[in-house]
């Protein structure tokens, strides 16, 4: 397997993850029909997911998770560090899309630096 296949696979996964993140943001969090539907019946599973996701965003769980994962990955060697950096990058992209940009920027940079490091 050449070196380009994992890189192409990682880029494809990142693009798909970014598209799914924007789908959640604009399809669930910012869509006005969910505001009306959730004010009428807050026990729908979509409304429960929307509410819990709002709490996770409010408390910055995605941003902090991305930052902590990226920092740990920066100091862990070999494959485990690369996997943790990939997870940190995915969480960081999700946090960037879902309103936690102040923490996610640092997490994405740290995870990116770890992914390009050779060891």
Say how far apart CA 13 and CA 89 lie, in whole Å: 11
Residue 92 near residue 66, CB atoms below 8 Å? yes
Total residue count of the chain as it appears in this document: 119
pLDDT tens over the chain, length 119 residues: 677 888 899 899 999 999 999 999 998 888 888 888 888 887 888 889 889 999 999 999 999 999 999 999 999 998 999 999 999 999 999 999 998 889 899 999 999 999 998 77
């Amino acid at each position: 397997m050449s070196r380009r296949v994992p890189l192409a696979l990682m880029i494809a996964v990142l693009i798909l993850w970014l598209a799914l993140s924007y789908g959640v943001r604009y399809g669930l969090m910012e869509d006005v029909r969910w505001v009306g539907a959730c004010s009428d019946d807050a026990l729908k599973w979509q409304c429960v997911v929307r509410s819990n996701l709002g709490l996770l965003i409010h408390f910055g769980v995605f941003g902090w998770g991305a930052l902590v994962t990226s920092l740990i990955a920066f100091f862990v060697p070999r494959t485990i560090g690369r996997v943790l950096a990939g997870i940190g990058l995915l969480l960081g992209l999700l946090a960037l899309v879902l309103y936690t940009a102040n923490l996610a920027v640092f997490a994405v940079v740290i995870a990116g630096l770890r992914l390009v490091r050779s060891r």
